[in-house]
Amino acid sequence: MLNTRNWPVLLAAAMLLSAAAPAPGVNVWITSGDQSRLFAQQPDIVFGPGGGNTITIDPTDRYQTMEGYGAAVTNSSASLLQNQLSVGQRERLMDDLFSPTEGAGLNYLRLAIGASDFTADGFYTYNDLPAGQTDGPQSNFSLDPDRATILPSLDDARAVNPAIRLMGSPWSAPAWMKTSGSLIGGGLAPQWRGSYATYLRKFAEAYAAEGHPIDSLTLQNEPLFTPGDYPGMAMSAVEQIDLVKNYVGPTFAASRLDTKLIAYDHNWDNTAYPIEVLNDAGARQHLAGTAFHGYAGDVSAQSTVRDAHPDKAIYFTEITGGDFAPDFENNLVWYARNLLIGGARNWGSTVMLWNLALDENSGPHQGGCNDCRGVVTIDSASGAITHNEEFYSLAHASRFVQPGATRIGSNSLDNLLETVAFENPDGSRALLVLNPTGSTQPLRVVDGGDRFVHDVPARSLATFTWTEDDRADFDNGGFESGGFHTTGGSLDGWQAWGVTGDNVAVTDADAFQSDNALRLTEPDGFGGFSGVSQGISVEGGDRLVADASVLLPQTGSLAGTGNQLFMKVEYYSVYGGGFQSPEYLGQSEIVAGGGQTPTGVWLPHQIDSVAPAGAAEARLVFTYARNQNDVGAVLIDNVGFRLVEPLAGDFNADGVVNAADYTVWRDGLGSTHTAGDYDLWHANYGATAPPLAATIPEPTAVWLLLALSIAPRLKGCSSQRPAHQTSFVASKTGPSTHVRL
């Protein structure tokens, strides 16, 4: 019979395996106006108590569906991408711009249908004819002008992000179709409206045939402006109504295209034009919505049009930065306030900027703007890439607001914090927060019964993302992320201490499996401590494995010095607790480098440990202990920190399966033991443990059933002791290497 006085042992084991999940982890990214942080990932935070300016998330308050963020791949941009970059530079930039996991994740691109002012090769359309000739059926239509640079650039972008969508916008019809007989000036001659509809249809079909379907198409770029030195075409609201109602709309409806037709495509300062077009029932049936530029007027115009026609979408399609607005900080605040936050709060489903890339001379271009700035700047001589404030602004939304996301309720605090929130199709949430003030603002976010706090720096833009069941996780183990403003790499996600930027820095020399590595050094012989740390959410009983590769360089090595690199996993009862504070629960530690360590070779190290009862955070720490008058450096790369399934049979939760676990298991049987107990334990849990001579009574069938009911949770895990596995030490008085400077 089972000895019921041992039920607490069984209940404790069951509770260990079914403990409540840790508080959700929150990812944090910040760009500050002083450029000290540029789309920089901060250490994760978790939901917990605290105070601050309260922003409340309301997922039941639902608004528009988001379609995407991006910029225009003009002929100028594509020419730079294809002709001014090496293969390696282009691949890196494509990842920076379009990767949804490592870059900005841009996913909605605008194309000029024919030439705009930003072309490197002169003005053109897809059916240019000698003077006096016409082609009503558009038999001579050809995408050849786009084959050298634009289509290859789209191929490169789509290879990185297959979810990219495209919008087409015409600057001008072919000259032979216009009242001016030229790409410059004039309007569309009435007799060619049907042919023009065919021209636009063939554009969409030709791009689809190249693997780049056109998701949406505006009827005319800036119809109320006719430039004098580059292609343009005037189009009144009455003309646009006739064009879409009687020609373009029916032509696209009769085709197999899913392309959405969009009205207006001009500035915020005129709401009468788009409302007039949408008021016409014949035109409205073919239109998905209206598009806006931001060169005049106010973003609230989007709400004015949406209120008049709530069934039609709002698109923001163009604004540019330039030398006329040189201040990074002010530009960051403007983009966040008016486009990312204000645009979405005024029903916008997209944010697209003008040129994706320009050179240092605001070119190449033919007429038009001579001081515009691209999302990135490509040096025309070296191919060096500068990521501008337009890049960082877009990235704060495009990386985290998925296509198909829904804007949900969030409040803003006048003159303190401005916000917009989204719920993604995968259930995750994204919150953009602008602090336009000159001082740090404490933020408190409330999402149902959960809340988190964070200090938002002055004049900065922050993005927070979370899901209900995500833990604070480990990021940037290769020191690669967030290097958009440097040669690559950063300490994003890590907390650094010591003389950072000198003693603690990322280097692209001697990296292991990536482009960068962490370098900890003491060049001047001063004693002390420096290093980095990063925490993840855990609960008691979790098994964790930390990996790292460490190199002691031959030049500036630690040979003959007393300097040491300590690799540790520290445990805390509160996420973010202080070392050797009451929240500190203990640590596992190894020496990963010292004066006797071989130089010039990457050496692997691993810590395998189990979180003690009450743990809420496991913190991976690299501490470089520097003795007075000793110099030298260590490099760290290929870092991993992960939760793994517990070891089968580790009943005392010390990360090792041995005779001590057998004792815990046997004691759970009560006072009656049999000689077969050890054989049973050894067969199920302790295959790698040493033999144990014992005479033990037979176990009860009930206990065996209970033991086996726990086993499936633990099945399949190795009971081997990994290299460098350390026993957990619960200590409040660790060695001096624990001191943080």
What tokens does 612 get?
């003690």
Q: Does 715 have pLDDT greater than 80?
A: no
Q: Is the pLDDT of residue 714 over 70?
A: no
In this prediction, residue 267 carries a pLDDT of 99
- Decide if 673 contacts 699 (C-beta within 8 A): yes
Instruction: Find out whether 441 and 455 touch, Cβ atoms under 8 Å.
Output: yes
Return the amino acid letter for 143.
L
SS3 assignment for 460-520: EEEEEEECCCCCCCCCCCCCCCCCCCCCCCCCCCCEEECCECCCEEEECCCCCCCCCEEEE
Residue of 425, 419, 306 whose CA lies nearest to 65? 425
Whole-angstrom distance, CA of residue 52 vs CA of residue 47: 14
4 to 8, 670, 675: CA distances (angstroms):
9, 8, 21
Rounded distance between C-alpha atoms, residue 608 and residue 585, angstroms: 17
Residue 186 gets the label, from left (phi > 0), alpha (psi -120 to 50) or beta, of left
pLDDT at 452 exceeding the cut of 70: yes
Q: Rounded CA gap, 393 and 395, in Å?
A: 5
Q: What is the mean pLDDT of the chain?
A: 88
Catalytic residue among 67, 276, 318, 589: 318
Name the pLDDT band for 290 (thresholds 50, 70, 90): very high
* Sequential DSSP letters for 117-157: S--SS----SS---TT---TT-TT---HHHHTTHHHHHHHH
- The reported pLDDT for the residue numbered 697 is 34
Query: Please, what are the domains in the chain?
Result: 68-327 (3.20.20.80), 495-645+725-738 (2.60.120.260), 649-714 (no CATH)
**Does residue 223 register a pLDDT over 80?**
yes
318 labelled catalytic: yes
Reported as a pLDDT band with limits 50, 70 and 90, residue 169 is very high
Six-digit token pair at 274? 């788009």
Arithmetic mean of pLDDT, 241-255 = 98
The pLDDT of residue 687: 58
Transcribe 615-629 into DSSP letters: --EEEEEEEEEE-TT
- In contact, 388 and 339? CB cutoff 8 Å: no
Both tokens of residue 574?
């509160």
pTM: 0.86
In a 3-state reduction of DSSP, which class is residue 676?
Answer: helix
Taking the C-alpha atoms of residue 212 and residue 162, their distance in angstroms, rounded to an integer, is 10
pLDDT at 485 over 50: yes
User: What per-residue confidence (pLDDT) applies to 688?
Assistant: 54
SS3 per-residue string spanning 502-515: CCEEEECCCCCCCC
* Spatial CB neighbours of 302, under 8 Å, sequence gap ≥ 6: 268, 292, 314, 316, 343, 346, 347, 348
Give residues with Cβ within 8 angstroms of 483, minimum separation 6: 489, 490, 506, 516
Number of other CB atoms surrounding residue 548 within 10 Å = 26
Write out pLDDT tens, residues 183-198: 999 999 999 999 999 9
pLDDT of amino acid 639: 96
Adjacent-strand bridge partners of 112: 169
Whether the per-residue pLDDT at 110 is higher than 80: the answer is: yes
Site of tokens 């004693």: 527
Using omega within 30 degrees of 0 as the cis cutoff, is the peptide bond preceding 712 cis? Answer: no
Our measurement of the distance from residue 267's CA atom to the centroid of its chain's CA atoms, rounded to an integer in Å, reads 30
pLDDT of residue 508: 82
> Is there a contact between 217 and 168 (Cβ–Cβ < 8 Å)?
yes
What is the structure's pLDDT at 663?
79
Average pLDDT rounded to a whole number, residues 623-641: 89
Reported confidence tier of residue 669, pLDDT bands at 50, 70, 90: low
The span from the CA of 373 to the CA of 355, in Å, is 7
How confident is the model over 1-54, as pLDDT tens digits? 323 333 333 333 433 443 456 767 999 999 999 999 999 999 999 998 888 999
pLDDT at 707 exceeding the cut of 50: no
The answer to whether 557 touches 632, Cβ cutoff 8 Å, is: yes
Q: Is the pLDDT of residue 201 over 50?
A: yes
Q: Compute how many other C-beta atoms are within 10 angstroms of the C-beta atom of residue 300.
A: 12
- d(CA 394, CA 70) in angstroms, rounded, equals 7
Residues whose CB is less than 8 angstroms from the CB of residue 395 and which lie 6 or more positions away in sequence, other chains included: 39, 103, 104, 105
CA distance 568 to 619: 8
Determine what percent of the chain is predicted with pLDDT higher than 70: 87
pLDDT at 723: 39
Q: Is 80 exposed, middle or buried (0-12, 13-18, 19+ CB in 10 A)?
A: buried
**Phi, psi angles (nearest 5°) of residue 374:** -85, 170
User: Residue 571 and residue 589: Cα distance in Å, rounded?
Assistant: 11
pLDDT surpasses 90 at 695:
no
Distance between CA atoms of residues 15 and 10, nearest Å: 9
User: Pick the residue with more confidence: 256 or 386?
Assistant: 386
CA distance 93 to 389: 16
Once rounded to an integer, what is the mean pLDDT over residues 190-211?
A: 99
Name residues whose C-beta falls within 8 Å of residue 725's C-beta, 6 or more positions apart in sequence.
606, 607, 608, 609, 655, 656
437 vs 561: which has the higher pLDDT = 437
Output the pLDDT for position 672. 64
Q: pLDDT tens digit string along 49-84?
A: 888 999 999 999 999 999 999 999 999 999 999 999
Lowest mean pLDDT, pick from 119-128, 616-625, 710-719: 710-719
Q: How confident is the model at residue 104 (pLDDT cuts 50, 70, 90)?
A: very high
Two structure tokens written together for 639: 């870092």
Indicate if the pLDDT at residue 525 is higher than 80. no
pLDDT band at 575 (very low <50, low <70, confident <90, very high): very high
Tokens of 408: 């949900």
Q: Which residues pair with 266 in a beta bridge?
A: 292
Cα angle 134, 200, 203 (rounded to 5 degrees) comes to 100
Paired strand residues for 372: 322
Contact 400, 260 (CB under 8 A): no
Distance CA 628, CA 524 (A): 9
Q: Which of 60-69, 272-281, 283-292, 475-484 has the lowest mean pLDDT?
A: 475-484
Report pLDDT for 251.
99
Average pLDDT over residues 672-677: 68
Catalytic pick among 222, 390, 418, 539? 222
CB atoms within 10 A of CB 122: 9
Say if residue 153 is exposed, middle or buried (CB neighbours under 10 Å; 0-12, 13-18, 19+): buried
Query: Sign of the CA dihedral 96, 99, 100, 105?
Result: positive
**Of residues 565 and 256, more confidently modeled:** 565
Mean local confidence (pLDDT), 600-604: 93
Rounded CA separation 472/24 (Å): 7
- Whether the pLDDT of residue 158 is over 80: the answer is yes
Distance, CA of 347 to CA of 341 (rounded, Å): 10
Give 708's pLDDT tier (boundaries 50, 70, 90): very low
Neighbours of 315 (CB within 10 A): 29
Strand order in the sheet with 617-626: 495-497, 528-537, 617-626, 564-572, 584-593
Average pLDDT over residues 558-578: 92
Nearest residue to 651 (alpha-carbon basis) of 621, 600, 686, 601: 686
Task: Provide CB contacts within 8 A for 287, sequence distance 6+.
Answer: 244, 249, 261, 262, 263, 277, 278, 312
Gap between the Cα atoms of 107 and 350, Å rounded = 10
> Tens of pLDDT along 346-366?
999 999 999 999 999 999 999
pLDDT confidence of residue 693? 39
Q: Is 645 annotated in the active site?
A: no
Are 73 and 35 within 8 A, CB to CB?
Answer: no
The 10s digit of each residue's pLDDT in 328-339 is 999 999 999 999
> Is the per-residue pLDDT at 159 higher than 50?
yes
Q: How confident is the model at residue 670 (pLDDT cuts 50, 70, 90)?
A: low
Helices (H), 18-134: 75-83, 87-98
Residue whose token pair is 């709309």: 249
pLDDT in tens, 544-557: 999 999 999 888 77
Q: How confident is the model at residue 653 (pLDDT cuts 50, 70, 90)?
A: low
